[in-house]
Amino acid sequence: MTNPEKSRHVEIKDEGDQTVAEAEVTTASGPEGTVRTSMHAKDAYVRPGYRASLVDAVMDLPEVQASDRVEAAIPYGDSESLERLRERTEHAQARAAGATTLFDANVPSGGGPAGDQAVGEQSADGEQPGEA
């Protein structure tokens, strides 16, 4: 029997080509359904914008766009990632689970409100329009 799930690793790099944030994204084969992701920064003190860039890179993956729902695990207290996920999804719910925040939401068709501001998978400057 073949494995029906596919996994992808996404990284955001700084100006020095060092990985500052990363995610694992798992999708079931075929369109629609639920995509699961685990996101985190490599260091607790990364420059503002990198976490949002990671969310954008994950949400812009074709397999995520083809899914109906997203389930994300992010470190508890990572308000930048949580806020960006809320901006990029619909009908979001978040709950604490120990040192992790579990996030469930619908993936909007058409990429959501931040679709035009997305950062590529390989690198990011860390600054998004409207980010503090």
Q: Which tokens in the block code for residue 121?
A: 């998978």
Per-residue pLDDT at 115: 40
132 is written with which tokens? Answer: 């503090």
Q: One digit per residue, pLDDT tens: the chain, 132 residues? A: 444 678 999 999 999 999 999 999 998 766 678 999 999 999 878 999 999 999 999 999 999 999 999 999 999 999 999 999 999 999 999 999 999 999 999 999 865 444 443 333 333 333 333 333
Domain membership flag for residue 130: no
Whole-prediction pTM: 0.78
Q: Is residue 123 part of a domain?
A: no
Range of the domain at 64: 5-113
Q: Is residue 131 part of a domain?
A: no
Looking at residue 43, the DSSP 8-state letter turns out to be S
Is 42 contained in some domain? yes
CA 46 to chain centre: 16
Q: Is residue 71 part of a domain?
A: yes
pLDDT of residue 130: 38
Query: How many separate domains does the chain show?
Result: 1
Q: How far is CA 49 from CA 7, 64, 65, 95, 108, in A?
A: 25, 21, 22, 23, 22
